[in-house]
Structure 1
Amino acid sequence: MSKPAFDADALIAMFESATAKQSDQLRQAVGQATLAALQGRELTLKNIRQVLKTVTDAAGAGLAKNPLGADVAPLLDQAVAGMDDALLKAVDANRVALQQLLAQGADLRDKHLKKALDDLDKIEDTLIAAVKKGAEGAGAPLAGPWQQVLEKMQAGGTLAGGQAAKTVEAVEQMVAQMQGAARESRRAGLRAAQALAESYAAMVSGVLIGMSDSLRQGAAASAAAPSATTAKTGAARRR
């Protein structure tokens, strides 16, 4: 999958000139840029990390030149929210793909599917790690705003992280239900086989009874035959 150009310079310029009144616009722009970058790559955790690093680097570079100085915390908060929005869509894409695979009979023991679930579990930590690196690389007066946003994320979590946890739980429940259905199917098959065996045994018993009746009737006929022959012989002698 080709990687579309990520216009880091345009993103830096946007952060540099953004005002407090443009925080919502900044969030949308960051979300769209992050999503576009993710869509141009295979959606692996490695590529997600790279995209988040590029965006946070651009944010740091642009905000360092922003006239608001230490008052850029609201802008930074919205920038992180924009990345979170993009990751939320990535999580949803994973959910749809996993459900489709499971519906087609895929096994979660497959290493690729297990890795997909593990990566979903790490989505929130990946975003937090990106912001943490941004905070560590920020000099005064931006260190404070970066740390403020980081602490907020660590305390309240992220939208993508929460949705990822729900997705993993839903997939695991779906697998459990499928396994339960498979077990019930096997039980039903066993019951059917047992019923068939019992019917077969009854059928064999009926055949055996029929055979016994035939044998008894044959024995009775054989016993009656000599008597009839003896009677005929006696009659012939009297003549």
Structure 2
Amino acid sequence: MLKSGIDQDKIIEMFANASASGTDQLRKGVQQATLAALQGRELTLKNIRGVLKTVAESAAAGAAQNKLPNVDVEALLDKAVTGMDEALLKAVEANRVALQQLVNQGADLREKHLKKALSDLDAMEDSFIAAIKKAAEAAGAQAGQAWAPVLEKLQAGGTLSGAKAATTAEQFVGQMQTAMRDSRAAGLKAAQTLAESYAALVSGVLIGMSDALTQGQPKAAAKKK
């Protein structure tokens, strides 16, 4: 089943068949699926929340179906969260790059679209945790019990993406204060036009980052016969 471009059946199958020794591969699979879903839409906070919730629900559904011996469902869900966190780190970096591009072109970070972008960055971790909570609530009693310690750990330790998002927002607030003093005006009109489509700009940056990483990788070895 595809939901908003997310192959839920593939994620469910990954978790349903995951062995106790294959959790690292599971993390990578979740990271790739989440990143692909984020690349397929504008990077608004609402869209990010929706992606995380759908991926988390699919992971929980698959983990509940896993009948392999010695499989720790809590460990599977923990790897799902880690994979989503890694994908979201790339989205935060895309936000940082896009914001810096706009600032370099003379954009005023007090402009409403960019103020919202900074506010959304600051709220990234809360949105992540809220998405996982909703997925846990939708999972039913048994899966909900498996989610409980994962959520507790998430709330106590936070996320890498949330910490990076907060730092990025703080960085640009500092730049905004400097810009208020310097009052740079060059290129404001062009920058404002870009700012109004900020979410699309960030999405483009994220895709470009992934393309660059792909192009930089060595050619894959020939497949074994």
Q: CA deviation at 1:140?
A: 4.4
Whether contact under 8 Å (2:108, 2:179) holds in the other structure is no
Opposite residue 78 of structure 2, the aligned amino acid is: D
CA distance in 2 between counterparts of 1:124 and 1:80 reads: 12
**Which deviates further from its counterpart, 53-62 or 159-168?**
53-62
- Partner residue, 1:130: 131
User: Between Structure 1 and Structure 2, which shows a larger proportion of helix residues?
Assistant: 1
Contact 1:70–1:144 under 8 Å retained in 2: no
Q: Tell me, in whole angstroms, the C-alpha distance in 2 between the residues paired with 1:111 and 1:86.
A: 27
| TM-score of the pair, normalised by structure 1 | 0.71
- Paired with 1:163 and 1:90, the residues of 2 have a C-alpha distance of 10
1:105-146, Cα deviation, whole Å (9 max, x unpaired): 111121110111111111111110111112223334332220
1:155 corresponds to which letter in structure 2? A
Tell me what 2:105 maps to.
104
Aligned position for 2:42? 42
Structure 2 stretches lacking a partner, 5+ long:
185-225
**C-alpha distance in structure 2 between counterparts of 1:118 and 1:40, whole Å:** 22
For residues 89-238 of structure 1, what are the structure 2 equivalents within 5 Å? 89-182=90-183
C-alpha distance in structure 1 between counterparts of 2:40 and 2:11, whole Å: 17
CA distance in 1, matches of 2:81, 2:173: 29
- Asked if the contact 1:91/1:163 (under 8 Å) is kept, the reply is yes
Letter in 2 for 1:174: Q
| Letter of the structure 2 residue corresponding to residue 99 of structure 1 | Q
Q: Is the 8 A contact 2:8 2:58 kept in 1?
A: yes
**Aligned length in residues:** 181
CA RMSD of aligned residues (A): 2.0
Give structure 1 stretches of 5+ with no counterpart.
Answer: 184-239
Q: Which runs of 4+ in 1 moved over 6 A?
A: none
* CA distance in structure 1 between the partners assigned to 2:101 and 2:138 by the alignment: 41
Q: Which residue of 1 aligns with 2:214?
A: none
Question: One-letter code of the match for 1:7?
Answer: D
Q: Does residue 52 in structure 1 map to residue 52 in structure 2? A: yes
Q: Is the 8 A contact 1:16 1:62 kept in 2?
A: yes
Structure 2: how far apart are the matches of 1:98 and 1:121? Answer: 14
Percent same amino acid at aligned positions?
A: 62
**8 Å Cα contact 2:129/2:155 also seen in 1:** yes
How far did residue 7 of structure 1 move? 1.3
CA-to-aligned-CA distance 1:13-48 (integer Å, 9 cap, x gap):
111011121111111110110000000101111111
**Are 1:34 and 1:86, in contact at CA under 8 Å, matched by a contact in 2?**
yes
Shift of 1:168: 0.6
Q: CA–CA distance in 1 between the matches of 2:139 and 2:38?
A: 25
Mapped partners of 1:101, 1:126: distance in 2: 25
Contact kept? 2:64, 2:73, Cα under 8 Å: no
- Call closer, same or farther: CA 1:60–1:168 in 2, change over 3 Å: same
1:20, 1:118 → 2: CA distance?
Answer: 39
- Do structure 1's residue 11 and structure 2's residue 11 form an aligned pair? yes
Where in structure 2 are the equivalents of 1:80-95 lying within 5 Å?
Answer: 80-95=81-96
TM-score by length of 2: 0.75
Greater Rg, structure 1 or structure 2?
A: 1
Task: Report if aligned partners of 1:117, 1:168 keep a CA contact under 8 Å in 2.
Answer: yes
Task: Quote the Cα distance in structure 2 between the aligned partners of 1:144 and 1:65.
Answer: 15
